Structure 1
Amino acid sequence: MSRPDRMISTSDIRKILEEGEIIEDYPEDTRGHSCLMLGRSTDGRPIHVVCAPKDEYLAIITAYIPDDAQWAENYRTRIDS
């Protein structure tokens, strides 16, 4: 069952790629260099996007709304468990 409150639009992803900030960098990722970006949706929700630059394009690996239990209030810092 889908949850409309968790849906992320392609326009939100594009906005984060254009205006967001890189909060984690993964240069040694087994799939190739990638990074975690943080931005806000058009309605203000925090969203994380994991992407990987390729020669001819930017691969979007995943996008999600960060869990408050796993991230500090600013959504930039992971909470150690």
Structure 2
Amino acid sequence: MKFSFSGHVFRRMAERGFSPDTIESVIESGTVIKSYPDDTPYPSRLILGFDGVRPVHVVSAYNSEDDTEYVITVYEPDPLKWSNDFSKRR
């Protein structure tokens, strides 16, 4: 699988202290907590993973035709807005 990071995502990753390796790891081994099958041009999903003990949410879309994962955004979920396990909005 290839990964595609837009300039916007790279800026957000730098602002939020996430590396490309961390994001790739979350995509490969994290838990999908929400799917958006009707998104275009590709279905997307919200994935929960961890960078050590730090929770990470990654929104990405997968294009099976060229085996590319398009990273849309990444962020650390706000504990005031998410459940204790960061998998559900409050």
Using the size of structure 2 for normalisation, the TM-score is 0.75
Distance 2:55 2:48 in 1: 7
Unaligned runs of 5+ in 2: 1-13
| Aligned residue in 1 for 2:30 | 20
1:75 aligned to which of 37, 61, 86: 86
Question: Residues 32-52 of structure 1: CA distance to partner in whole angstroms, max 9, x if unpaired?
Answer: 3100000001x3200000010
More helix by share: 2
Aligned length: 76
* Aligned-residue CA RMSD (Å): 2.0
The reply to whether residue 29 of structure 1 matches residue 39 of structure 2 is yes
Using CA pairs under 8 Å that are at least 6 residues apart, name the structure with larger relative contact order, 1 or 2: 2
- TM-score (ref. length: structure 1): 0.82
More strand by share: 2
